[in-house]
Amino acid sequence: MSIAISIIALGLLIAFHELGHYAAARAVGMRVLRYSIGFFKPIFSWTSKKTGIVYQVGALPLGGFVQIKGMNPFEEGAFEHADSYQTKAAWKRFAVIAAGPVANFALAFVALSALYSVGNPVEVNESRVGVVSSGKPADRAGIETGDAVLAFDGEKISTWDELAGRLNASPGKRVVLLVRRGGETREIAVTPEDRGGVGLIGIGPPTTMVRLPVHEAVGAAFGKCVELVSMTLGAFGSWLTSDDTKMSPVGPVGIVKMAASSLDIGVAHFVAFVTYLSLMLFLFNLFPLPALDGGRCLVLIGETIARRRLNRKIDAYANTVGFFLVLGLLVVITFKEIVFG
C-alpha cells in the first residue's frame, strides 16, 4: 500500500507540473488541446464543449502531459494562427515554460506551510530510537521504536549525535547497546551494515511535533524551501568539482522506495519527503538542457537578446536529442536500481 500511494504521489507531482504549463498557456491566450494525467491509452476521457480541451486519465498514471497548439514547430498553422504557442511574444512563451517548475515550487511552499501549521516533526538530539526500518539490522536484533540507548560498547551516551556517530564508525563490526525499554534495561548486540564505509542499522532519530502560527509557518516554509534548494545545488556543485562519490543519482524506483519508507514512518514525514521531491522537480526542470524547461527558457532568452528566432529544425533536433538523452539516463539509473538495488 505504501508503494502504491508513493507511485500515485509521484505521478501527481508531475501532473501538477504540467498543470502549471496548462494554466499559464490559457492565461496568455494559447489554445490547449489536451491535458492528461498519466500516459498511454486513456481509461477516462472528457471533452469540454466550451473550450474543446480533452481531459483524460491514461492507463499508466505516472506523470502527465499538456498538449499546447503550436508547441511542435512543424505543426500546421504553428506560425500563422493567433492562438498558437509559436506566434506569441517571447515573454508569454517564457511564462508558459517557466510555469511548470514554478508550480512545483509553489506546491512545496504551500505543503510545508500547512505542515508547519498542523504539526511538523522536528528531530530531538536524544539517544532514543525514533523509528526502526523493517528488515534492517536493528529490526532483526530486536530494537524497537522508543528504546532509549544508554551505552555503546560499555561507554555511556546521551545524545543522538553520539549514537549515530559511533554506529557510523563501526561498519561490519558487532557492537553492544545497553537499552532501556519501559522500566527494564537489556543488552542488545547488533552489527551495522557497511554502506560505503559507513555503519548503518536502520534506525532514525526521535522527533517531536512543533506547531507554528500561520504567519510564522508561511515564513518558515519559504525559508525552508530556499534552504533545501541551496543545499541541493551546493551538494551537486561539490559532486561536480570534487572526487566525492557519496552523492549518486536516484531514479523512479529509488524515489518510490524512499517515499514508501517515509510513509511507513508517518504521514508528516511522507508529506515532508514529497515536498522535497517537488522542489527537486523544480530544480531538475530548470537545468539548462535541451528538452527540459530550463533549456527552452535559455533559448527564449537568447532569442530575445538576438531579436531573432532559432531555426525550427535546430530547435526540434536539439529537443529531440535532449529528450532521448534524458530518457536514456533514466533507463540506465532505473536498470541499476532494479538489478543492483
Q: Quick check: 158 and 208 in contact, CB under 8 A?
A: no
Q: State the catalytic residue, choosing from 18, 76, 144, 155.
A: 18
Cell of 22: 496548462
Whether residue 227 lies in the annotated active site: no
Residues acting as catalytic residues: 18
